[in-house]
Structure 1
Amino acid sequence: MSVKKLLFLSAFSLCSIVSAQTGFTLKISGEAATPLELRLSDLSKMTRKEAVMKDKEGNPHTFTGVPVIEILEKAGVPSGKALHGKDNLSKYVVIKSSDGYQVLFSLAELDPSIQNKNVIIADTIDGKPLPEGKGPLRMIAEGEKKPARSSYQVTEIVIGSSKQ
């Protein structure tokens, strides 16, 4: 393959990735007062927070993103004093990824008035965008012994209730 063709294919691939990420939206649905679709540019304007998580080799990495509770508050999900009480303490949050992987959090464990858990939707690792196949967004639950809930390629946050 000629150098010209190789350069063209590289540039085309990069444009495709950038285009796909600029059209990306994070959907917030379910029992939210204001269901949302947030673009990456929307998330970049929200409060930024860091979370540190180790890789499989034990090396620490710093992720930067938006606290999940801030995204939930923007969607009208109860927090703080409004969370307390029988109706809201039975609510949960499901984080969905593009490959079908899903993780669950109780709404209470994400609320800073109840726990000091640092859970963010990250878009960078060590100051760089998440690598292809891992982003554009990743859920990071800092401090968990196993990173099973720190899922890749997050696409949707669904709020539900266990009340029947």
Structure 2
Amino acid sequence: MNHANPWVRCAVSVLILAACASAPVWADTPPVPAGSVAIGGEIATPRRLDDIALRKLPRRAFDATEHGTTAHWEGVALSDLLSDAGVPLGDALRGKNLALYVVVSAADGYRVVYSLAELDPAMRGGDVILADRRNGQPLDANEGPFRIVAKDDKRPARWVRQVVAIDVLRASLR
């Protein structure tokens, strides 16, 4: 019977544990059903929306340019989705609530962050929507079914494709 050196077994065990501990945070997030987006985190009313539920909400539309191409985008204001979920906006966005931020996650693990103040229409004028249509058509599989579009961002780096989750989190204080 071949027995490996105990130091080798120990080193391999440490490497395996290190790899597991360094797995991306999104790896332990439960999967979201296809065609829906989960809204969660530190909110009063967690929810999951599909395209039918999204179409029933107040709509926003605007033209925005991505990589030199202008398109007409339609969807729901991210601030409306957050407000419906009980996230403090408007006059309630002050004090400790200013430490809240939003993480938007894509199906491939890509994530972006917005401060809650960036999304609050009472504090900032730009539109950020969860889009489901481009130029009058549903988003294709490469973009959708949902996509974040930030009209006033100079670069579309935070325009997340294939959005699966929107989480409201609190910056920790040391």
Shorter chain as normaliser: what TM range? 0.7 to 0.9
Residue 118 (structure 2) aligns with: 109
Does the CA contact (< 8 Å) of 1:49 and 1:64 recur in 2?
yes
Structure 2 Cα separation of the partners of residues 59 and 100 of structure 1: 25
Deviation of 1:163 (Å): 3.3
Structure 1 Cα separation of the partners of residues 37 and 66 of structure 2: 25
Name which of structure 1's ranges 47-56 and 95-104 shifts more when overlaid on structure 2: 47-56
Between the two proteins, what is the percent identity of the paired residues?
39
Deviation of 1:50 (Å): 1.1
Residue 141 (structure 1) aligns with: 150
Structure 2 Cα separation of the partners of residues 139 and 23 of structure 1: 17
Question: Structure 2 regions of 5+ residues with no counterpart?
Answer: 1-32
Tell me whether 1:75 sits opposite 2:85 in the alignment: yes
Residue 32 (structure 1) aligns with: 43
Deviation of 1:39 (Å): 1.5
Structure 1 Cα separation of the partners of residues 39 and 143 of structure 2: 20
Q: 2:71 aligns with which of 52, 61, 72?
A: 61
Within a 5 Å distance, the mapping from 1:1-164 to structure 2 comes to: 24-56=35-67, 58-84=68-94, 86-164=95-173
Code of the residue aligned with 1:54 in structure 2: it is T
SS in 1 for 2:87: coil
TM-score (norm 1): 0.82
SS in 2 for 1:87: helix
Deviation of 1:71 (Å): 0.5
Aligned-pair RMSD on alpha carbons? 1.3
Deviation of 1:127 (Å): 0.3
Deviation of 1:104 (Å): 0.3
Deviation of 1:145 (Å): 1.1
TM-score (norm 2): 0.78
Code of the residue aligned with 2:90 in structure 1: it is G
Code of the residue aligned with 1:72 in structure 2: it is L
Structure 1 Cα separation of the partners of residues 172 and 101 of structure 2: 10
Structure 2 Cα separation of the partners of residues 78 and 133 of structure 1: 33
Structure 2 Cα separation of the partners of residues 55 and 118 of structure 1: 15
Question: Structure 1 regions of 5+ residues with no counterpart?
Answer: 1-21
Bigger radius of gyration: 2
Residue 14 (structure 1) aligns with: none
Aligned residues: 141
Structure 1 Cα separation of the partners of residues 137 and 123 of structure 2: 32
